[in-house]
Structure 1
Amino acid sequence: MATPSEKLAQSLDVLKSLQDRGIVAIRTGSMTRTHRERLLKSGFIQEVMKGWYIPTRPDEPSGESTAWYASFWSFVADYLSERFGQEWCLSPEQSIAIHVGNWTVPKQLLVRTPKGGNKPTKLLHNTSIFDLRLDISAKEIEENEGLRIMSLPTALIACTPAQYTNHPVEMRAALSSISDASDILRNLLSGNHSTIAGRLAGALRNIGREQLADTIVETMKSAGYTINENDPFEERSTIHFSTREVSPYVNRLKIMWETFRKPILKDFPTPPEPITDIDTYLQKLDEIFVTDAYHSLSIEGYRVSEELIEHVRGGNWNPDSTPVDREHHNALAARGYWQAFQAVKDSVRKVLDKENAGEIAKSDHGTWYRELFGPSVVAGIIEAADLAGYRNRPVYIRKSMHTPPNWESVRELTPTFFELLENEENAQVRVVLGHFIFVYIHPYVDGNGRMGRFLMNLMLASGGYNWLVIPVERRNEYMSALEAASVHQDIKPFTHYLAELVDTTT
């Protein structure tokens, strides 16, 4: 007779076979009741709605949202395809978000389908799907990660005017990726969309695409339409994009940077006098190390004490001397933090010697990362290849609705980020966006929070500010402020949060 462990192993084999086929939305009929109840009881699956489940981790706390946010888009793709076959697509507004790389989980996902019931379907953690009964055209739909979305020209024509004022970053990024007016004009002419043509022309002119705007207006007029051009954005764009810059991911990042500058410059403390006594500044960093390491590691969930940090700092610790358990992981993290901190200090010295802070961050951050996880490589916990560079798989942030950009786009976003950092003249902007944009991109599988705080402090040094410790006691406020910037494009809470802490260090 099989033991309980053997029975669970049998059920896990069934779950694995589904996952190997790429199935995330698990239907009741996908496995027997016995397997389903066993996996549910053991915490390996979670019910989303009656008859539908997702895989979860048994060690995830009850009520935790991470598994759901990580599964959301794959679940939606499977679920909608099961319900509607090929006769569905995301709304024009959500399609545009996907086109420009914004995978933030929405509170309510709008879907168009001729089979829709015009009613919401409740999902986990206050999310839902609303299926609108509307006809769709298969030739105007394309697939992205299993999701059926409108083509960009179709979505731009179908979206509401309010989208320009509610989501200006996304709309400018989408418009900036249009290099030719042909597809847009084809849809405008076939649909007799003279009003929309005037709005699109005004929007394109707003971002400096004068030639595209002129082409739309002149072509529509030559077809007998009267065009009243109007700009749907509330403000003029300060960035003009050339036709060579067609990546919506890169352009969206540039727009975010420029959009966030104004509130940061308004609310962040003016830089103090430049640091002249470099040795004294670096000595203060040595004095604050224990406090900084304790709080930074605690924010990431490590359980470390000041005594442990002092122990590994002194070198009286052998990574091979103790078994690999939770305490050992904590010690490895503490030792890695010490080594990375020394590398960051070297970078700080260069910046205080008047080298460009963005250039130093670009050239040195790889060294920080290797030092951060070097002890774990020595201990055999992670492979040396994991230190080779940026991530090559998806990552998800615990409890966050923000889904970091796909790993392919990291290769173009990260160089753009450092270019923006190099060219930014204001230390206040470098401080806030140096941290935020780095963790927004999430270029590494692990350690992004610690790396982001190191970047923040390098930029603080470049502006003459003191080193800043993010207190673990205010972790929830810190994470909430980052979430507001990532999900709602509101940098003010994070700016105010850091500004308040900076004021206490001066």
Structure 2
Amino acid sequence: MPAISRQLASALAVLKEFQDTAPHPSVVPSGVLTAAQREVLIRAGYLSEIMKGWWLAKRPDRYSGESAAWYANFWPFVSRYLEKRFSKNYCLSAEHSLRLLTADQTVPPQVVVMVNRSTTYTVPLKQNTSILIYGDAKSFPTDRIQVEGVWVMALPEALTRVSETFVQRNPPTIATALRAVDRTALTRRLLDGGHSTIAGWVAGGWKTLGLKDNAAELLRLMNLGGYKVTERNPFGDDFQMPTPWVPKRAAHALRIEALWTSMRGAVIETFGKPPDKASEKSRFLAATRDMFTHDAYNSLSIEGFRVTAELVEKVRMGNWDPRNVPEDMRTRDALAARGYRHAFDAVMRSIAEILDGADPADTVRRDHQLWYAEMFRPSVEMNLVKLSDLAGYRNSAVIITDARHVPPHHDYVPECMETLFNLIKVEKEPAARAVLGHVFYEYIHPTMDGNGRTGRFLMNALFAAGGYPWVIVPFEQRRRYLDAMGAASEQGDAQPLSILLREQVELAPKYREQPPANVQRRYSRKP
């Protein structure tokens, strides 16, 4: 074995020994590896520096960019660093406490941290992120809890200390917090502190969220104490929760409901009046099947598969033979294309039921996991994926490449998916149903792979239910599409995605009008 290989193997063995027992195995502090071991791991792509004395362990073959591994491990690093630096003597600011408490796991450009001693400085980190440390012994929080291993203010204290600007700019976070908080504890804190201004928007928020009894009690008690309270709605007149409040809901599910409520207006405004009538079944299915080559090429290429029209046509015509043709057996892209064909056909069957009168929400709830299983059927047949891996939702962490949004922990995925399908069920506007259904399927990322393809299938099934054509997101718009998805999941802004998809609705007929020869020429090169 060459010397460099022996050095790498030795360094990896030391790293593995650390990771086998570490609570956050990808966050490596100084003292675990020697300088020589770190150097060989950095050269091989297994390690990168976060800051002086801290490194990030990653697999060089797993992530396409440096940001993916960092965003997935941002909060574990913050937890380890703050614990080592300050023990328990720190707390996130009210704003950042609220974000974590309401399941906003988007990686912020800067985290603000209070400590109970006199100091102020900034810690620069990877990917233009940082930690701002500032001392405030007099106002150090009295009521703290741990979330994601990080000390934060408890919800009642955070809500009474958050800035007015934050309240105005972050309706989903405030709505989630007001639904999740212990309302008696918050009422007592408002009374003890005489927070009449805050009580005004808390009462108005509770009333808007359907918690009218709690709002009335807060106002009565504040008035009894001699406080003048001006009630106001902190969300705006159009913010109406689609589902009633239910106790003991996970913050992740509550946040999805609040985000859906705040985002639907942009979708409805962009799409305007929906089609007057539903699609005619036979015509829709025939037209959509004619678009398969276009759809498969673009959808698979967006996900990073190297697909040509020749490969798609080979699969469509049944000429792909992995058992007897070595090239087909080795082609990952062909497996993806064949799986896409299986899934596409399953989606067509679901849409046929919807256009025959089946409830769209009930149909996609029942069938979305079947589409996913069909997508990976060729991989199961080749013994590359276990059949049991296709059952249910993911049971481990997953990341979205280059996205600051970190999907919910797998323990919360079933409740989040149930929340999503309930929202689809109660949403009356077909465009909002389709666009936001896609957004939040990606937001949750319920499976280990295939989320983008399945999410677009879900979107198109719901578009079809509303009388819209099958929508193709073209590969040449990939960057714009991913940026728009990021704006939706990270900033709660659905307008960029709505504009893009509305454009593609208008362009749908062009795909049906191209003869097969033109399709072959258009997609004859690899993306």
> What is the TM-score when the length of structure 2 is the normalising length?
0.89
Q: Is the 8 A contact 2:485 2:497 kept in 1?
A: yes
Structure 1-normalised TM-score? 0.93
Q: Quickly say closer, same or farther: Cα 1:30–1:426, change in 2 above 3 A.
A: same
Q: Deviations along 1:159-182, whole A, 9 cap, x unmatched?
A: 11222211001101110123541x
The alignment partner of 2:266 has SS state of helix
Change beyond 3 A, Cα 1:318–1:117: farther
1:3 and 2:6 matched? no
1:317 paired residue among 320, 330, 347: 320
* Identity across the alignment (%): 38
Q: Secondary structure at the match of 1:109?
A: strand
Q: Supply the distance in 2 between the matched residues of 1:414 and 1:486 (Cα, whole angstroms).
A: 15
Could you say what secondary structure the match of 2:88 adopts? coil
SS at match of 2:275: coil
Q: Which residue of the partner structure matches residue 375 of structure 1?
A: 378
Structure 1 residue 488 and structure 2 residue 488: aligned?
A: no
Instruction: Letter of the 1:504 partner, please give it.
Output: L
CA pair 468-206 structure 1, distance change in 2 beyond 3 A: closer
DSSP 3-state at the match of 1:65 = helix
Kept in 2, the 8 Å contact 1:322–1:328? The answer is no
Match of 2:119 among 117, 120, 123: 117
Query: Counterparts of 1:94-113 in structure 2 under 5 Å?
Result: 94-113=96-115
CA shift in 2, pair 1:63/1:286, >3 Å: closer
Q: Which moved more, 1:412-421 or 1:368-377?
A: 412-421
Structure 1 unaligned runs (5+)? none
Which residue pairs with 1:205 in the alignment?
207
Report the count of equivalent residues.
504
- Superposition deviation, residue 356 in structure 1: 1.7
For the residues of structure 2 that align with 1:335 and 1:460, how far apart are their CA atoms? 24
CA distance in 2, matches of 1:243, 1:420: 13
Q: Distance in 2 between matches of 1:205 and 1:283?
A: 49
After TM superposition, list the pairs within 5 Å mapping 1:211-226 onto structure 2. Answer: 211-222=213-224, 224-226=225-227
What is the rounded CA distance, in whole Å, between the counterparts of 2:31 and 2:412 in structure 1? 37
Greater CA drift, 424-433 or 273-282? 273-282
Residue 423 of structure 1 deviates from its aligned partner by: 2.4
* Paired residue secondary structure (1:54): strand
AA at the equivalent of 1:431: A
The alpha carbon displacement at 1:387 in A equals 0.6
* Equivalent residue runs for 1:103-502 within 5 Å: 103-115=105-117, 117-135=119-137, 140-181=143-184, 183-222=185-224, 224-231=225-232, 233-236=234-237, 237-239=239-241, 244-247=246-249, 248-275=251-278, 277-321=280-324, 327-502=330-505
Instruction: Report the Cα offset of residue 312 of structure 1.
Output: 2.2
CA shift digits 1:105-152 (9 cap, x unpaired): 001111111246322211111111111212376761111221212111
Q: Which residue of 2 aligns with 1:22?
A: 23
Query: Paired residue for 2:54, among 52, 55, 60?
Result: 52
The answer on whether the counterparts of 1:405 and 1:441 sit within 8 Å (CA) in structure 2 is yes
**SS of residue in 2 equivalent to 1:31:** coil
The alpha-carbon deviation at position 102 of structure 1 amounts to 1.1
Show CA shifts across 1:63-85 (max 9, x none). Answer: 63111111111111111111111
Q: In structure 2, what residue type is equivalent to 1:313?
A: R
Aligned partner of residue 494 in structure 1, secondary structure: helix
Q: What is the rounded CA distance, in whole Å, between the counterparts of 1:429 and 1:240 in structure 2?
A: 13
Residue 450 of structure 1, CA deviation: 0.2
- Contact in 1 for aligned 2:68/2:401 (Cα 8 Å): yes
Per-residue Cα deviation, 1:332-389 (whole angstroms, up to 9, x for no partner): 1111000001101101111221222111111111111110011111111112111101
User: Which letter does structure 2 place at the counterpart of 1:47?
Assistant: E
| Matching residue's letter, 2:431 | Q
Distance 2:338 2:65 in 1: 33
CA distance in 2, matches of 1:325, 1:310: 14
Matches for 1:81-100 after TM superposition, within 5 Å? 81-100=83-102
Q: CA deviation at 1:269?
A: 4.9
How far apart, CA to CA, are the structure 2 residues paired with 1:345 and 1:199? 48
State the distance in 2 between where 1:82 and 1:161 align: 33
AA at the equivalent of 1:264: V
Relative to structure 1, the CA distance from residue 266 to residue 433 in structure 2 (aligned partners, 3 Å threshold; closer, same or farther) is same
Which amino acid is the alignment partner of residue 19 of structure 1? Q
| Residues 321 and 120 (structure 1), Cα distance of their counterparts in 2 relative to 1, 3 Å cut | farther
For residue 331 of structure 2, give the secondary structure of its aligned residue in structure 1: helix
Q: What secondary structure sits across from 1:396 in the alignment?
A: coil
